[in-house]
Amino acid sequence: MDRLITEDERRLLLEHGQARAAGRAIDPLPAVRLFTPDAHATWLLASLDPADGDTAYCLIDLGLGMPELGEIKLSDLASIVGPRRQPVMRDRYFRAARTLSEYTRLAQENGSIVD
C-alpha cells in the first residue's frame, strides 16, 4: 500500500476523512491521483475513512464514460493489474487544480476526468 500513497498524503486524507466522519461538509482538493497505465482507469482520492484507514472516498473513472463518486479500498487497488500486467500507480506529479466537486462536475459533463 505504501507505493500508492505517501505518509504525508495519508495524513491529509485521514484529516479529510475525520471531517467527513464528523459530519462536516467539506469539498477538498483531491490529494492523490491513482491510475492504471494500461487500462484507462483513474481515481482521485479525497479522504480516507479513519475507522479503517483503507477505504478511500474518491472520484472514480473506470474509462467507461461514467465517472462517479464512490469508495474503494486501497488494499483492493494494490492488487489490481491491467491487461498488460501493469499495477495501479500513483501520479507523483499530480497537483489538484480544482475541488473534488468541480472535478466531478467536469468529469460527468465530459465522460472522463479532466486534468
Residue 35 lies in a domain: yes
What does the alpha-carbon distance between residue 105 and residue 93 come to, in Å, rounded to a whole number?
23
Tens-digit pLDDT profile for the chain (115 aa)? 478 999 999 999 999 999 999 999 999 999 999 999 998 899 999 999 999 999 999 999 999 999 999 999 999 999 998 889 999 999 999 999 999 999 999 999 999 998 7
**Which residue segment(s) compose the domain that 34 sits in?**
7-110
Are 58 and 16 a contacting pair, CB within 8 Å?
Answer: no
Going by C-alpha positions, the residue among 41, 16, 14, 35 that lies closest to residue 92 is 35
User: For residue 102, what is the enclosing H or E element?
Assistant: helix 100-110
Whether residue 33 lies inside any domain: the answer is yes
Q: How many CB atoms lie within 10 A of CB 113?
A: 21
Is 2 inside a domain boundary? Answer: no
Domains in the chain, number = 1
User: Has residue 1 been placed in a domain?
Assistant: no
Q: Is residue 41 part of a domain?
A: yes
Residue carrying C-alpha cell 497537483: 95
CB 31, CB 9: distance < 8 Å: yes
In a domain, 115, yes or no: no
